[in-house]
Chain A
Amino acid sequence: MLKSGTTLYSLTIEWLSGKYSLEEIIAETSARKLGPGLEVVGFQTIRNFPSISSEFAVEFRRLLDEYELEPSCLGANADIGIRRSGHLTIDETAEYLKAQIIAASKLGFPVLRMQMAAKPEVIRKLVTTAEKSKVILGMELHSPYTLDHPSVIELQKLYDEIDSPCLGYIPDFGCCMQRIPSLVLDSFRKDGMPETLISLIKEIWLSDADTAEKFKQVRERAIALKGTPSAIGRLNMILALFSRQDPKRWSEIMNRIVHIHGKFYGFDAEGNEPISTTRHS
């Protein structure tokens, strides 16, 4: 059965405004009937995450009970690039994520959102902890990780090999965009990005090159157009947020989908959302 819910990530502006306590933002989510599912990003909502005190766990569960919400998914982060000297090793990444599996278990989340920065060798090391903790690891397929991405194909092989009920997918509909949202490009323009770079990213985004090639083209062609590191970072962000996969292709992994991230980027006068393909799927 499909149930809807809200991630507090979608209330980031409200949360960062400082106008809401955790209880108030959960209460508001409930009052607006945005449940029953409630998802949070650990490193956004919880101080000292992934360390979870018993007091916080009790209070968090009480809040969800009181406001009649169900914990749906905890967002983990696979921060393999936190150290300047080089990526975390496979073992270090596994330890980094084990702590987040345990946090999910303490807070009552059935699913932990994983990120593709965690390689299949890392996922392999986490299966036992996930099974013991009764937490499903849902790999988020977020742009640029569409089903044809070599890393996703590699992960699918691992899933087939291990075949654990604790391994699943979380499709993110940013993978299935019709176009780059104009509000994002307008924010680039407002900050002084030249039209040559805006045209460049639109052209590369619409091309059928694979992901690695698109990132390479952004780097090389933006440098040739005298793009600053900051501007190149923004163009990379477009590729990291939006892809053009046909949403029907999610049916290929339907048996392993454990949670879904829908997206929307603005409505027209008729109330339609013309940018993402979520509503057409």
Chain B
Amino acid sequence: MGPLDKFMLSDHSLLVTDSGCDLIIRSHWYRSLPLSCIGNIGLKINEKNIPSENISFEVNGKIFSFNELGNLYQEWWFILDSAILHIENNFLEEGKEYKVELELGLLIPYVLVGPDGQPMLSSSKLSKNLLSRRKKN
């Protein structure tokens, strides 16, 4: 939605792994947020929806299931750091171009809206054709 969306995916974000694939992502907000502020992750690869339960999230050298993120208000995603989405059982060919569509919904914890003061949802979508590469161990 804004000028920072371009940082969400780089040309080298899509990696082929033994168990599926990895996607290296960055936040589209301007500052670090804890993982509890990740409201939703929508992902399509070549038009195929990847359910969020098939995605785990790695940051700070730790891996969390998508469902755990909402509780992690003390685990921070520094704004200059990448996170890795590990996607199980989504096998890709190496060296092939894939259309990747990523939606990242962030709950902004100091901008509160509505009668209950819910964190404002800031959601950005980025679509990019990415060449898959084999992940180096």
Contact = CB atoms under 8 A, between A and B. Distances in A.
Given A44-B79, A84-B70, A49 B32 contact: yes
Interface stretch (A73-81, A196-204, A260-268): A73-81
B4 A240 contact: no
B123 A78 contact: no
Interface in A214-247: 215-216, 219, 229-230, 232-234, 236-237, 240
Contacts of A44: 30-32, 79
B7 A237 contact: no
A18 B118 CA distance: 32
Given A80-B110, A234-B1, A12 B30 contact: yes
B122 interface: yes
Contacts, number: 98
A200 B60 CA distance: 42
Contact of B30 (A9, A47, A240): A9
Interface in B88-110: 103, 105, 107-110
A13 B119 contact: no
Nearest to A240: B111
Interface of B: 1-4, 7, 26, 30-34, 36-37, 70-71, 73, 76, 78-80, 103, 105, 107-115, 117-123, 125
Interface of A: 9, 12-13, 15-18, 41, 43-44, 47-49, 77-84, 87, 115, 117, 187-188, 191, 215-216, 219, 229-230, 232-234, 236-237, 240
Given A48-B78, A230-B105, A233-B121, 14 more contacts: A16-B80, A41-B31, A43-B33, A47-B80, A77-B31, A78-B110, A81-B110, A82-B36, A82-B37, A84-B71, A115-B110, A188-B1, A230-B123, A237-B111
